[in-house]
């Protein structure tokens, strides 16, 4: 019994001692582990191991994170990579990090791809839909560029969605962008009275005046044959003076006026021996870029001198399309200039012909016939086309003539497009016709300065024996030297 008790007591001591030793060992191991963790360096990439870089854009790596138990430490690092951002492919970005004499290596995979969608820049904030034609008033002016493909304007597709106009483009790697332009509907144009014959007429004293009447048209140029027009006023051809007739339609509360000048016939004023009247001198008045807000006033002044002109027309101001018919009715020549007057028409032969044919369609709708003569925007000598397609003017001049069309430049420039005032416009034209045997005069019926100078110009020409001719396919042909 005593022996048994002693054995138990000794065993107990052994267990106690062993337990104490185990506790000590565990504590030592824990302390060593803690000290090891405290000294452990954590080296890692910031961000994912695999990243994408955009073609032709500077790649900036997110970097690395080096710490010891959450605290920053001093380290040396060397970065290296073989990334070529101008070429698609997979590349390596490497970090060699030295901490306390120990080197760590981190590697990131970088793939160069095209992930940027192209950019479409549009000048217009809003488009207008013409009430009569239901077409937008003018094509939007835009340019599309891509970080890899460059200028991709010619890849833009257009769609009229009714309330919006959608421009879309996709680059060569499938990145797509769209721009939606709101379309505002034009208000219904009011009905109008259109005079038969000239709005302004000159009658020599003693001659008979026969009024040609007027008709009622819708704002879209459709005649309303059942609507009557009453005339107020009278003309006394035996008394010198200015007379005004007023044409009215009470149903629509609309009116129009005609001015008749009763004058005495005067002999031409001869300023130079070379300016003797009746010597066959002919001037060719040409007007570009209309019809616009001033065009009807131009027509009235031309009527006053019975002067005919050639109008190279556009569709820049759609509410004045009906004026094309008025130009033709008054005996002027209506010819093609451009639908849009946008330099993008020089991107290709197809782009130019689409614009040309669309304008000729409108001319046919308003005048009843198409035109076979035209004037290039900027003239055949323009250089702005170089930025759209090299050699396009040389090609277009050949293609259009081969298809039966003739283009006309000019040899007298009023310089109104460059901002000449009325006096300068007058002087440029008069000086030009004196120095040119067959003057083809460039003017613009959207310029107020030219409008203000026109009466004086025509008076000078009339008094000095000039006659007024209109251009046709047979000439006189005036061509500039082509620069592209």
Task: Tell me, yes or no, whether 142 and 214 share the same domain.
Answer: no
With a pLDDT cut of 90, the percent of the chain lying above it is 69
Overall number of domains in the chain:
4
> Domain residues for 218?
190-265
Checking if the pLDDT of 106 tops 90, the result is: yes
Residue 52 lies in a domain: yes
Can you give the CATH number for the domain in which 250 is found?
A: 2.60.40.10
Checking if the pLDDT of 114 tops 60, the result is: yes
Task: Tell me, yes or no, whether 177 and 230 share the same domain.
Answer: no
Domain end position, chosen among 113, 135, 154: 113
CB atoms within 10 A of CB 408: 25
Task: Tell me, yes or no, whether 465 and 351 share the same domain.
Answer: yes
Does the model's pTM come out above 0.75? no
Long-range contacts of 382-388 (CB under 8 A, 24+ apart): 382/483, 382/484, 383/483, 383/484, 384/343, 384/346, 385/343, 385/346, 385/484, 386/483, 386/484, 387/343, 388/343, 388/344, 388/346, 388/347
Residue 450: half-sphere exposure toward Cβ, Cα within 13 Å? 28
Residue 467 lies in a domain: yes
Task: Tell me, yes or no, whether 94 and 127 share the same domain.
Answer: no
In angstroms, rounded to a whole number, what is the distance separating the alpha carbons of residues 366 and 321? 7
Task: Give the pLDDT confidence of 158-183 residue by residue, as tens digits.
Answer: 999 999 999 999 999 999 999 999 99
Task: Tell me, yes or no, whether 379 and 467 share the same domain.
Answer: yes
Question: Is residue 375 within 8 Å of residue 409, measured between CB atoms?
Answer: yes
Task: Give the pLDDT confidence of 253-281 residue by residue, as tens digits.
Answer: 999 998 887 876 543 333 333 333 334 58
Q: Mean per-residue pLDDT for 429-441?
A: 93
User: Which residues does 32 contact at the CB level (< 8 Å), separation at least 6?
Assistant: none
Residue 28 lies in a domain: no
Q: Give me the pLDDT at residue 203, please.
A: 76
Q: Give me the pLDDT at residue 269, please.
A: 35
In angstroms, rounded to a whole number, what is the distance separating the alpha carbons of residues 337 and 463? 31
Comparison of pLDDT for 198 and 20, the residue scoring more: 20
Task: Name beta bridge partners: 108.
Answer: 93
Task: Tell me, yes or no, whether 312 and 383 share the same domain.
Answer: yes
Q: Give me the pLDDT at residue 28, please.
A: 64
Task: Give the pLDDT confidence of 23-75 residue by residue, as tens digits.
Answer: 776 666 555 554 545 568 899 999 999 999 999 999 999 999 999 887 888 99
CB atoms within 10 A of CB 130: 18
Domain end position, chosen among 201, 231, 265: 265
Q: Mean per-residue pLDDT for 373-400?
A: 92
Task: Give the pLDDT confidence of 336-345 residue by residue, as tens digits.
Answer: 999 999 999 9
Task: Tell me, yes or no, whether 178 and 315 share the same domain.
Answer: no
Can you give the CATH number for the domain in which 157 is found?
A: 2.60.40
Task: Identify the weakest region by mean pLDDT among 215-219, 268-272, 367-371.
Answer: 268-272
Domain end position, chosen among 214, 232, 265: 265
Q: Give me the pLDDT at residue 3, please.
A: 44
Q: Give me the pLDDT at residue 37, please.
A: 52
In angstroms, rounded to a whole number, what is the distance separating the alpha carbons of residues 67 and 42? 5
How does the average pLDDT of the chain come out, rounded? 88
In angstroms, rounded to a whole number, what is the distance separating the alpha carbons of residues 456 and 150? 51
Task: Tell me, yes or no, whether 73 and 89 share the same domain.
Answer: yes
């Amino acid at each position: 019994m005593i022996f048994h008790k002693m054995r138990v007591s000794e065993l107990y001591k052994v267990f106690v001692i062993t337990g104490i030793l185990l506790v000590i060992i565990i504590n030592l191991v824990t302390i060593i582990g803690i000290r090891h963790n405290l000294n452990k360096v954590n080296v890692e990439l910031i961000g994912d191991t695999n990243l994408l870089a955009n073609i032709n854009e500077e790649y900036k790596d997110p970097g690395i994170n080096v710490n010891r138990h959450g605290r920053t430490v001093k380290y040396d690092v060397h970065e290296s990579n073989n990334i070529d951002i101008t070429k698609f492919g997979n590349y390596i970005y490497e970090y060699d990090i030295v901490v306390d004499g120990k080197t760590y290596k981190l590697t990131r995979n970088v793939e160069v791809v095209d992930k940027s969608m192209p950019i479409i820049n549009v000048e217009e904030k809003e488009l207008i839909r013409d009430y009569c034609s239901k077409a937008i008033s003018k094509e939007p002016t835009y340019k599309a560029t891509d970080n890899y493909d460059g200028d991709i304007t010619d890849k833009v597709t257009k769609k009229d969605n009714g309330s919006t106009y959608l421009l879309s483009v996709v680059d060569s790697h499938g990145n797509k962008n769209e721009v939606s332009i709101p379309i505002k509907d034009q208000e219904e144009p009011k009905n109008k009275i259109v005079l038969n014959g000239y709005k302004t007429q000159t009658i020599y004293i003693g001659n008979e005046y026969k009024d040609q009447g007027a008709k009622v048209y819708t704002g879209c140029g459709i005649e309303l044959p059942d609507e009557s027009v009453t005339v107020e006023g009278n003309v006394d051809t035996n008394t010198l003076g200015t007379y005004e007739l007023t044409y009215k339609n009470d149903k629509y509360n609309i009116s129009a006026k005609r001015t008749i000048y009763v004058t005495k016939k005067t002999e031409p004023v001869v300023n130079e021996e070379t300016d003797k009247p009746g010597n066959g001198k002919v001037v060719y008045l040409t007007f570009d870029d209309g019809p616009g807000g001033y065009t009807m006033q131009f027509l009235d002044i031309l009527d006053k001198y019975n002067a005919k002109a050639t109008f190279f027309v556009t569709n820049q101001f759609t509410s004045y399309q009906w004026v094309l018919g008025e130009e033709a009715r008054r005996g002027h020549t209506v010819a093609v200039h451009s639908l849009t007057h946008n330099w993008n028409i020089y991107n290709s032969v197809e782009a130019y012909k689409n614009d040309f044919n669309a304008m000729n369609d409108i001319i046919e709708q308003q005048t009843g016939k198409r035109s076979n003569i035209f004037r290039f925007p900027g003239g055949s000598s323009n250089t702005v086309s170089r930025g759209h397609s090299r050699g396009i003017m040389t090609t277009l001049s050949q293609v259009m003539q081969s298809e039966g069309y003739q283009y006309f430049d000019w040899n007298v420039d009023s310089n109104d497009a460059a901002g000449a005032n009325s006096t300068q416009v007058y002087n440029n034209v008069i000086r030009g016709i004196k120095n040119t045997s067959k003057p083809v005069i460039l003017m613009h019926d959207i310029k107020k300065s030219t409008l203000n100078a026109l009466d004086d110009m025509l008076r000078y020409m009339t008094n000095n024996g000039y006659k007024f001719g209109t251009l046709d396919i047979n000439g006189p042909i005036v061509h500039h030297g082509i620069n592209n």
